[in-house]
Chains A and B, each alone.
Chain A
Amino acid sequence: MALELCQCERESDLYVPRPTRVTRVKPQTTLETMITLQFLDGADLGHRPGQFVQVFIPAIGEAPISICSAPNPENTFDLCVRKLGDVTSAIHRLQGGEVIGIRGPFGNGFDMEALQGHDLLIVGGGIGLVPLRGVIQYVAQHREDYGEVTILYGFKTPAEQLFRDELDSWVTEGQMDLRLTVDRPHPDWSGHVGVITTLFPDLKLNPQRTKALVVGPPIMYQFVITECRLKGLADDNIILSLERRMRCGVGKCGHCQINNKYVCMDGPVFTFSEVKHMWEAI
């Protein structure tokens, strides 16, 4: 053969979704639902928190969705999905028991080893809490490896709150400091009111020990990053997860690029120092 092609292993199934059973459906809000999945052959997904999968709904299409659970002995994993378009609406129509397709896990995810020994400040805006749930579960499973954990979770209205029946256990079993806020006053809400940055003034953290993990809508990043920096966090210690349009998930289709990075390969998790000079990032 004339051409110097790579010698790497042939990945003939790179684009082929693996059949995966929906073992449980757990609606969250009017817009979000959570599904639990297991490969038909029972295999382990082998993921890290913060990675994502490409979810394939036969006859409909594919969409990138964050894995929102930590690895577990049953080899199941959870996805929490907001209804926005074709694939996500089809996910909302699942009743449990169906077989859908999964490719992945893809992306880098959070480096849980590198976070060991640190205090964690976990900041989730709206559906941004979804990928962070995997981190929270992982930390709860390996609690002694991590220092103090503070979770800030903001949402628009009380009805949009995710993972309601788990939040208590994050505090009691997970020994984490959980602070909630809704954007605007609401008759059903007696807790803190204000956008997520209004939770920062009361925070006491050790900037040398703390790593911040921030996920939320694009608009949230600049404000939260400013607060983190005001608290003395170095840019290396502010960790974000970014979202872009994706088609392939494996660094080929070009859709997910932010400047010179591929979100599907180099991300979706980035430190703020990595992206602060990238004008397309935030």
Chain B
Amino acid sequence: MKPRVAVFSFTSCEGCSLAILECENELLDVINLVDFVRWREAMTETSDEIDIAFVDGSISTHEDVRKLQEIREMSKMLIALGACAHTTCITGLKNRFGMSQVKEIVYGPDGAQFDTIPARPLRAVVPVDFELPGCPIDRGEFLRCVRDLALGKKPKLPNYPVCVECKRKGNVCVFFKGMKCMGPVARAGCGALCPSFGDYCEACRGFVDNPNEESHKETLTEHGLTVQEVMNYFTLFNAYDESQI
């Protein structure tokens, strides 16, 4: 029997779940591998028996927490889809401020009545079986993930840094072009997308298992960044910090 798949969205731009719909050429093959039983963007039919739930967005209200717990209950496997669900991405930047301040900035003087809590990744609320990182997700990686699950394989992420993919592509390292890059500590899997297009890596996919953060902070400083700038490089996509919750 084909696995029953559902897609849910929390606080995010929903770009990651839309990225799935953009797999136009492959969508027919995907539908041969799995049954989509619930998907707000694409269909109205709903179902409560789910084999694999793909969930995008970070969790930033009490209501979100409750809904995510419900999804976890009815799903055999829960997969975080994209940086918001994985690291909170940009939505985590608000955690640096007090929540009352956030409410005021976002919703104006009447903001206090809104239900907002510090943004957190899915795994901070419920057990997560797999995380598909990236802002947005890499479509190829999503397709491989679906294929692997249909074949009974465990989806895996590379545990090496973006530099590896940069080298396999023969890119000139952007440090030689005067830029600074998070590649040496960032988790690969995107095919070194940004350096391949002349940009630098911002670690939108999070870090490798054991990043040498101290070393990289020193490297960035040696290349002329201030302490604050180094902080910004490290937190743009990876601001989530349990201790701020």
A–B direct contact (CB < 8 Å):
yes
Stretch at the interface among B148-156, B166-174, B188-196: B148-156
**CB within 8 Å of B: which A81-102 residues:** 85-86, 89-90, 93
Instruction: Count residues of chain B with CB under 8 A from any CB of chain A.
Output: 4
User: In the complex, what residues of B have CB within 8 A of residue A59's CB?
Assistant: 151
Closest to A89 in B: B152
| A residues apposed to B, CB below 8 Å | 59-61, 85-86, 89-90, 93
User: In the complex, what residues of A have CB within 8 A of residue B154's CB?
Assistant: 85-86
Closest to A92 in B: B152
User: In the complex, what residues of A have CB within 8 A of residue B151's CB?
Assistant: 59-60
Closest to A87 in B: B153
Give the distance to chain B from A82, nearest Cβ to Cβ, in Å.
16
| B residues apposed to A, CB below 8 Å | 151-154
Q: Find the residue from A59, A89, A90, A93 having the highest chain B CB count within 10 A.
A: A59
A61 to B152, CA, bound (A): 12
A143 to B154, CA, bound (A): 45
User: In the complex, what residues of B have CB within 8 A of residue A60's CB?
Assistant: 151-153
User: In the complex, what residues of B have CB within 8 A of residue A89's CB?
Assistant: 152
Closest to B151 in A: A59
User: In the complex, what residues of B have CB within 8 A of residue A90's CB?
Assistant: 152-153
Give the distance to chain B from A81, nearest Cβ to Cβ, in Å.
15
Give the distance to chain A from B238, nearest Cβ to Cβ, in Å.
29
Can you report 13 A-B residue pairs in the complex whose CB atoms are below 8 A from each other? Answer: A59-B151, A60-B151, A60-B152, A60-B153, A61-B153, A85-B154, A86-B152, A86-B153, A86-B154, A89-B152, A90-B152, A90-B153, A93-B152
User: In the complex, what residues of A have CB within 8 A of residue B153's CB?
Assistant: 60-61, 86, 90
A90 to B151, CA, bound (A): 9
User: In the complex, what residues of B have CB within 8 A of residue A93's CB?
Assistant: 152
Additional pairs, 11, CB under 8 Å, beyond known A60-B152, A85-B154: A59-B151, A60-B151, A60-B153, A61-B153, A86-B152, A86-B153, A86-B154, A89-B152, A90-B152, A90-B153, A93-B152
A89 to B149, CA, bound (A): 13
A89 to B154, CA, bound (A): 10
Closest to A61 in B: B153
User: In the complex, what residues of B have CB within 8 A of residue A61's CB?
Assistant: 153
The 10 closest A-B pairs by CB, nearest first: A86-B153, A59-B151, A60-B153, A86-B154, A60-B151, A90-B152, A89-B152, A93-B152, A85-B154, A60-B152
User: In the complex, what residues of B have CB within 8 A of residue A86's CB?
Assistant: 152-154
Give the distance to chain A from B23, nearest Cβ to Cβ, in Å.
20
Give the distance to chain B from A225, nearest Cβ to Cβ, in Å.
32
A197 to B152, CA, bound (A): 39
A61 to B153, CA, bound (A): 10
Give the distance to chain B from A87, nearest Cβ to Cβ, in Å.
9
A65 to B152, CA, bound (A): 20
